[in-house]
Amino acid sequence: MKAGIIGIGRYVPENVVTNKDLEKTMDTSDEWIRTRSGIEERRIAPDELDTSHMGVRAAREAIEDAGVSPEDIDMILVATVTPDQPFPSISCMLQEQIGAKNAAAMDISAACAGFMYGMITAKQFIEAGAYKHILVVGVEKLSKITNWDDRTTAVLFGDGAGAVVMGPVSENKGILSFELGADGTGGKHLYQDEYVIMNGREVFKFAVRQMGESSINVLEKAGLSKDDVDFLVPHQANIRIMEAARQRLELPEEKMSKTVHKYGNTSAASIPISLYEEVKAGKIQDGDLIVMVGFGGGLTWGAIALRWGK
């Protein structure tokens, strides 16, 4: 039994904050932000819209897209570092609000790599025959842990949610291989005190190396080559990091998902949001080989080679 994606959804807040808007409140410029990160705007949730609210909206769309009912969901896994509160978990809150009364529920904390960790956790339960349908959600309200007086971090982050329903798929579809990893010695480079604190230079070096290596590794584990890749969906943190991964795979620009300019870095939500946009735009077709790769605080990383389709 192979585990794959059978439904997908996403939600982003309506409020758009452009680089020009940030110019009015801090010492920065549109040109400075774009050349260093590729970000042009981001979505910022209002105070009354918390992490759970965004997660619920993405989850409902993914369940509908999968053609299953909330009662069919056996487990809910939510990747987030910005829960509404320490407990109850976002996953339990989602279980109540979407009516998934039969689902086990837990949150996963692996920062921007969290969605990869969630998908691989779901894969194990499905392929072991323990559960059939698992909802995996990546959702963040990073605006509430962003220091809006720190121009080095405030310009980077946005809010949003992405979700998939995973379940059994045909033998030649679904997750073909994966890699998960962590390096706790790098935790000092990216962490939350009251707000997000980041050593940009060290995180950049780590990310450029790890994104490329992990992408190659999952292809080798699946017995595939760079020529087999149809689409790359990288964590949307920084266009220069993403470009390094694309070049390592020798892919043309049109084969890499790029949403960082619209949404900024949405941490655990960035990969599912990007995947959603490419699927809905028709750029990812049945049978395509997709590489998804992310990195985050911890330091953590994860990559998946997946054959799209049911």
Q: Indicate if 102 belongs to the active site.
A: no
Question: Which of 19, 53, 235, 238 is the catalytic position?
Answer: 235
Catalytic residue from among 112, 133, 217, 238: 112
* 235 included as an active-site residue: yes
The single-letter code of the amino acid at 184 is G
The pair of structure tokens assigned to 18 is: 């452009």
Selected catalytic residue, list 19, 217, 238, 265? 265
Contacts of 260 by beta carbon, 8 Å cutoff, 6+ apart: 37, 38, 39, 236, 237, 238, 239, 242, 270
* Cis peptide bond N-terminal to 86, omega within 30: no
Q: Tell me the C-alpha distance between 11 and 63, whole Å.
A: 13
Burial class (CB in 10 A: 0-12, 13-18, 19+), 29: middle
d(CA 158, CA 263): 6
Rg (CA), the chain: 18
Give catalytic residues, as residue numbers. Answer: 112, 235, 265
